[in-house]
Amino acid sequence: MPSTTRANHLTRRGLLAAGGALGLGAALVACGGDKKKDGAAAPSASAKSGPWEFKDDRGLTVKAKATPKRIVAFTGTAAALHDFGVEVVGVFGPTYVEDPKTKARKPDVQAGDLDINKVAVIGNVWGEFKIEEYLKLNPEVLITDMWEKNDLWYVPAEQKDKILKIAPSVALWASDLSMPAVLQRHADLAASLGADVQTAQIKTDKARFEAAAERVRKAAKGKKDIKVLIGSGSPDLFYVSTPVRPTDTLFFKELGVNLVVPTKLDQGGWFEGLSWENVDKYKADVIMLDNRTGTLQPEQLKAKPTWGALPAVKAGQVIPRVTEPVYSYAKCAPLLEDLAKALENAKKVS
């Protein structure tokens, strides 16, 4: 779910209202050329010979004369493809955090195991997509998430038409499907791009993910009275997320976790925004707090007296929520393990 920054982004783009279809006609024509850009990572997956096609989650079959090698992707999607054995030449979206004093860069939470020094970053914040830099990468395909039907995540609406004329685009759901289904779709895409998704490491990661899911199921069954709230902090509001749309919370719900369901959702059906005076509207024993850059973290929330008064906060039962997961088994397994541990140790405090 959009919870705070994502919610605000979606609102600003008009995604919470009915949107028109993207102009994708030109996007289904493959870009030519295979020039390399200095500083951009070379793909590691073995490209298949012959024509390439992939049916994405918009229902569009994207085609090219050959398997794309020069891939540009949303940062989180690129991180997932990396774990499945596919490298990209460029990324857009939260990739690095810069120290204001030293200007040193460290990976954003959404960058996963990407080497941020080996990919071209054509946009690092919301609304930033450097088309000239994108063109220089000679892209063969653009890949990103989709939170609302037919909308490409982190592709600026005002630049959309120009961007989609440069290379074909692929969109995979990041909402409205449970996490295992979304993981499988990322694996399918990686396989189409030439990756071996049946390696020993990926099989081990998948087994770990499945074991973690069972651990959550068992913990939830033993702690049915423990209520878990999905939240996100901003200076003015505290957002309580619905479990109905996000892929992770949909899966948590399937596993039996007792999730708080807000009653007054925004137009898109994602969240309820509470003033800090009313932050205690919903009783919760555990709070999963949005960990993305740009949202308020526990240290910053100490300045909010009403936050500190919440039973879950007093009990130390606040854990990070990876609001925009990297959709690989390697990255999603720990999310489930952390939730299982929190449930196993949780006490009824609400």
pLDDT in tens, 316-349: 999 999 999 999 999 999 999 999 999 999 999 9
Q: What is the β-pairing status of strands 237-241 and 286-290?
A: unpaired
* Beta bridge partners of residue 71, listed in sequence order: 141
Owner of token pair 């993207």: 22
- Say how far residue 157 (Cα) sits from the centre of its chain: 19
Task: Give, rounded to a whole angstrom, the gap between the first and last alpha carbons of the chain.
Answer: 24
Dihedral, 65, 162, 142, 87 alpha carbons, nearest 10 = 100
pLDDT at 37: 38
Residue 155 has pLDDT above 90, yes or no: yes
Tokens of 155: 């592709």
Residue 75 has pLDDT above 90, yes or no: yes
CA atoms of 208 and 200, how far apart (whole Å): 12
Q: What is the β-pairing status of strands 105-107 and 96-98?
A: antiparallel
pLDDT at 97: 93
* pLDDT over 90 percentage in the chain: 82
Average pLDDT over residues 175-196: 98
pLDDT band at 15 (very low <50, low <70, confident <90, very high): very low
Tokens of 56: 């994405």
Tokens of 37: 């850009």
* pLDDT over 70 percentage in the chain: 86
pLDDT at 50: 79
pLDDT at 293: 86
> Could you tell me the pTM of the whole model?
0.85
Average pLDDT over residues 250-269: 94
Q: What is the β-pairing status of strands 71-74 and 96-98?
A: unpaired
Average pLDDT over residues 187-193: 98
The two most distant CA atoms of the chain are separated, in Å, by 62
List of residues 6+ apart from 65 with CB closer than 8 A = 30, 51, 52
Provide the 10 A C-beta neighbour count for residue 316. Answer: 10
Higher pLDDT: 246 or 8? It is: 246
Residue 139 has pLDDT above 90, yes or no: yes
Provide the 10 A C-beta neighbour count for residue 246. Answer: 30
Residue 19 has pLDDT above 50, yes or no: no
Q: Which of 39-53, 72-86, 223-237, 336-350 has the lowest mean pLDDT?
A: 39-53
Q: Which of 6-10, 22-26, 227-231 has the lowest mean pLDDT?
A: 22-26
Average pLDDT of the chain, as a whole number: 88
pLDDT band at 48 (very low <50, low <70, confident <90, very high): low
pLDDT at 32: 35
Strand residue runs (E) in the chain: 52-55, 61-64, 71-74, 90-92, 96-98, 105-107, 120-123, 141-146, 169-173, 228-233, 237-241, 271-275, 286-290, 318-321
